[in-house]
A and B are shown apart, each in its own frame.
Chain A
């Protein structure tokens, strides 16, 4: 079943001087695991932002679950319930502890405080940071911050998980563990997982790989198991 469709998506920056996405057409299946690769500056993050409703195209449509996002006035509910986003720059809130950062998406979930804590700790443990749950982000290494961001993205069991270079700052072993966590959540809730990576080995783990260059899709293929 089709979950996401992009139609003739164009995104420019600096008054048209930079074309980050040039006429993208794309369809992504519900529950699939897709990787996006391409050189630096090719438009990967911009594309992921479109898929996560964090930014809107200059022209063309982003349609998720049959809904054209440009017709929606307030996307905050959609973001909170459906999207788990791991940023390339982890974007944690500096004056909140690891645990509090992870609990932010549960703010309006209606869960009890106890259940929120339990859920948050579950994911903090999954990314291997249980002993650092009380730390502030500035006391953590880059890779640890990235893992907190992943726990935060997953804590509300989103139906679409978007991760921008989730393993970029991690060593191979930790990176593999993090990917396991991402895939575990993806499989257990039947979520769609889309990751941006420059690591071809990581990209191959996905069922499907989309390669972009200069804002255009140049290859789109399924990986052999």
Chain B
């Protein structure tokens, strides 16, 4: 699980994000633009940019909280795009004060958007001129336009967050504490904190998925053992026939063991294929908000190992018991 998330998590450009602490109806409050210049003048700060965030509901048939119903639009000066960690833009970057937009690669894929398409933001038509990629799925799920334009059409002259890039080797925590001291009602988040928060989430997901797979393994194991016991139990009579004809118990056990191995390996393969199928369908269905699926060989080795061990316990144990019976007793089973 941990490997699933980390493949798409990459460090953004800005080390510190400043937001307004006061929450108004679920959305955080705004920050005055004058803060941008003030923070720029602080020591060890190399670059600062203001960012305005608006949410457009694009699909009214879905609940507005659903990620699929919402399109997140940011206004940011085009010269500051590096601060959000954009690696490359396919096409061109929007011009300042224009109705041009660049759209995250992931959002494009999800909504089938390509360069030249139109987006409606606050009732205005925007042209998609580029597709950007940061490498982090949750960041590539938005739309960026000129800050001036967005402020203009939304009649806002503030920003929702301020991105702060620090000089190399600077103490990000110290800087963010300085910012917090200087202003009231704001909160800061450093990229370190963000990554440790993400780690925590991943940790929770990890232990949850461990618990779920543990449960799945136990339930599956009981199922397999039960099936094998029934299958071999039904063959007690056959085992009796073979014994009465003079087969050695060992030979009978080897036969059952061989059959069990073939059966469990086959079911291991089928089970793995089904697992992959369900995972892929699940991701298609629910979307991968910051996740990609990663199949590690260990997962499959573990799954196979458990299947085989469980199959052998379920198959060989009853066969062993049956082979110890007197032939006449084994023959009495129907």
A residues lining the B interface (CB < 8 Å): 49, 52, 54-56, 74, 76-81, 83, 85, 87, 89, 91-94, 104-105, 107, 152
Instruction: Check A55 against B238 for contact (C-beta < 8 Å).
Output: no
Question: Lowest 7 A-B CB distances belong to which pairs?
Answer: A80-B246, A79-B246, A55-B328, A54-B327, A76-B248, A91-B241, A54-B328
A152 to B329, CA, bound (A): 21
B residues apposed to A, CB below 8 Å: 237-238, 240-249, 326-329, 331
| In the bound complex, CA of A78 to CA of B244 (Å) | 10
Within 8 Å by CB of A107, from B247, B329, B331, lies B247
Contact, CB under 8 Å: A56 / B238: no
What residues of A have a CB within 8 angstroms of the CB of B246 in the complex? Answer: 76-81, 83, 105
Asked whether, in the complex, the Cβ of B328 is within 8 Å of the Cβ of A76, the reply is no
B319 to chain A, nearest CB (A): 15
With a CB–CB cut-off of 8 A, which chain B residues contact A83? 246
Nearest residue, chain B, Cβ from A50: B328
Q: Is the CB of A52 within 8 A of B244?
A: yes
Closest to B326 in A: A55
CB pair B242–A79 under 8 Å, yes or no, is no
Q: Knowing A87-B331, A91-B240, say if A79 contacts B245 (CB, 8 Å).
A: yes
Q: By CB atoms of chain A within 10 A, which of B245, B248, B249, B328 has the most? A: B245
Residues in B with CB closer than 8 Å to A49 are 328
**A90 to chain B: closest CB distance in Å?**
10
How far, in Å, is B76 (CB) from chain A's closest CB?
71
A54-B326, A54-B328 as given contacts; A85 in contact with B244, CB under 8 Å: yes
Docked pose: A56 CA to B329 CA in angstroms: 11
A-chain residues with CB within 8 Å of residue B249 when the two chains form the complex: 76
Please, which residues of chain B bring their CB within 8 A of the CB of A56? 326
Residue of B nearest to A76 (CB): B248
- Give 22 CB contacts A-B under 8 Å: A49-B328, A54-B327, A54-B328, A56-B326, A76-B243, A78-B246, A79-B244, A85-B244, A85-B245, A87-B244, A87-B331, A89-B331, A91-B241, A91-B244, A92-B241, A93-B238, A93-B241, A94-B238, A104-B242, A105-B245, A105-B246, A107-B247
How many whole Å from B234's CB to the nearest CB in chain A?
10
Verify B326–A104 contact, CB threshold 8 A.
no
